[in-house]
Amino acid sequence: MLGQNLTKLLRGPATAFYRLRMDGLFGGVAVQHGNNKPKSLHKTRRIWLPNIQKVTVYSAILDKKLKLRMTSRILRTIDKKGGLDNYLLETKDKNIASPLGLELKQTLQKALNAK
Residue 19: the pLDDT is 56
> Residue 15 — φ and ψ, nearest 5°?
-95, 125
C-alpha to C-alpha distances, 92 to 59, 105, 115, nearest whole angstrom: 19, 10, 23
Are the C-beta atoms of 104 and 78 separated by less than 8 Å?
no
CA angle 91, 53, 46 (to 5 degrees): 100
Residue 33 vs residue 11, higher pLDDT: 33
Tell me what the mean pLDDT of segment 18-24 comes to. 67
pTM: 0.75
Give, for 112, the enclosing helix (H) or strand (E).
helix 99-114
The kind and range of the H/E element at 57 are: strand 52-59
**pLDDT given for residue 16 in this prediction:** 47
As beta bridge partners, residue 25 has: 70
